[in-house]
A and B are shown apart, each in its own frame.
Chain A
Amino acid sequence: MQLTNRSKQVSNKEMTLAEKMYLPAIVGGLAITISHFFRKKPTIQYPEVKKYLGPIYRGHHILKRDEQGRERCTACGLCAVACPAEAISMVAAERKKGEENLYREEKYAAVYEINMLRCIFCGLCEEACPKQAVYLRHDLMVPVFQERDEVIYGKDRLVENMNDRYIRVANSEVQATPTEPSLTRAAT
């Protein structure tokens, strides 16, 4: 059975004098090796040099805040149930009086943890989120870790910093769901 059309028939014909000397073949092989010294290196010296990740890269998770700095997440659990690696866990709490500037809705995630060892960065949590709260950043990777206890990311490392907001360029035309009145107003 022929697998590809690049196969060659093996021949047993007698070698010529040049072939018998082997030297031309050795020189030819060395020339190929030496020519590689002068090629452009494809290796990137990570972590000193970082590659451009592209607009749809799925990297570090982020829990978004809205325009007024309130956390969007309501601990509905849809990201955790959508997660194929079961990396997400959360504990919900009720918003108390006076916390309206911290949390958007009457329920919020008191604890929100992602196990980065389990996470496969598939982005299903981002897709499942009804509140546009969890995103996978396109510009930042989860850093290399040394200790196992560094791996579980809590809210301190996930919630968006208001001084350094994350804006998704590629997905700027994401449609807000009609169930979120403040979002539709912001879109119009």
Chain B
Amino acid sequence: MAEQEIKPQLLKVTIDGIEVEVEPGTTILQAARKIGPAVAPPAMCYYQPLKGSGGKCRACLVRVAAGSAKDPRPMPKLVASCLTAVQDGMIVENETSPQVIDARNGVVEFLLLNHPLDCPVCDQAGECDLQNFAFDHGKATTRYEEDRRTFEKRDIGPNIQLHMTRCILCYRCVYTADQITNKRVHGVMNRGDASEISTYIEKAIDNDFSGNVIDVCPVGALTDKTYRFKNRVWFTKPVDAHRNCPTCSGKVTLWYRGDEVIRVTARKNEWNEVTEFICNTCRFETKKTSDWTIEEPTKISRSSVISANKYRADTIKPSFGERLAAADYKPIDDKRDTSQLSIQQLPAERFAHVLPAALDPEP
């Protein structure tokens, strides 16, 4: 009996109609991630391994339709799911609520206000959280007419490239520098539009784990200088590998172009988060296959652009292109004689005046 009392009571939460039981103190985002990627809200600033992260980007806003079993009133405003703890009997609406989708479209527009949209140049393109988020929720046009903010170029060490114009001020790198390294050399200065990531007093980040700010950055603001413009991510082949490293776990992902390792990153889980940080020696200096023990090809989501042109039976093509083509489709004035159709026994769709895919219901 005593053992049962010590055991914490599990809380029941319903997210998008799916019920899940979680421990007290869990956030809505964590509960949704427990269910799976289909209902998990997007997160631009929240990073589970970093303490204190979250609550800044508003990408994970959800609607709480019922606060708890005891007080089933809805919460008056949308809440940030990464910071809000669940309560027993809470009902959360994520993708099912048009209000949430509308809010997210607005968040994308705000995040992209000052973003230079130089994806063709940016090394992060293809594995960029903001790109994915904007792809799902953004519009193809902008209403912003003013000049986008610019910054003076700042050199923060020989290995890391800072593009301040791309930054969305998620603070992930600041928390990384604060928590992984011993002294804080890296912070946010100024306010509002002028705020920027900066090393304190022009001090280069010389800590042995400083390279991890590249991995935590959701956009291309912090990129690997040794990988700069080497190749696009979707032409490279990632494999999991490890080595005996005296300072870190040594578990990494190697990115190959042919036989050449052109980049080393830490391993990311399905939420694009690094759980085991790696040291700068592993990341920047050991770029030979002979340095590593290769385990297996990295598991990449089949819908990711990194899987593009790598043929496999289970390849999933994103439906975006088809939907766009169906929306843009203009019926052609087809004056062909179709009176012989029944004799030739051709399927009637061949002569249809609308695209067959447009008739299909949404997948």
Contact = CB atoms under 8 A, between A and B. Distances in A.
Contacts of A141: none
A70 B340 CA distance: 56
Q: Is the interface of A mostly helix, strand, loop or mixed?
A: loop
A76 B309 contact: no
Instruction: Pick from A2, A77, A86 the residue with the most CB of B within 10 Å.
Output: A77
Interface stretch (B68-76, B112-120, B184-192, B245-253): B112-120
Nearest to A107: B121
B229 A178 contact: no
A3 B343 contact: yes
A122 interface: no
A81 B308 contact: yes
Interface in B282-326: 305, 308-309
Interface string B227-244: 011111011000000000
A107 to B, nearest CB: 5
B231 A131 contact: no
A130 B121 CA distance: 11
Interface string A1-19: 0111100000000000000
A92 interface: yes
Interface residues of A, number: 22
Interface in A121-142: 130-131
Given A3-B343, A76-B125, A94-B229, A179 B309 contact: no
Size category, B interface: 20 to 34
A78 B309 CA distance: 12
A105 B141 contact: no
A80 B340 CA distance: 43
A126 B343 CA distance: 41
Contacts of A2: 343
A106 interface: yes
22 contacts: A2-B343, A3-B344, A4-B340, A74-B120, A75-B229, A76-B119, A76-B120, A77-B232, A77-B235, A81-B232, A81-B308, A81-B309, A92-B230, A94-B228, A94-B229, A105-B121, A107-B120, A107-B229, A130-B119, A178-B142, A179-B117, A179-B118
Interface of A: 2-5, 74-78, 80-81, 86, 92-94, 105-107, 130-131, 178-179
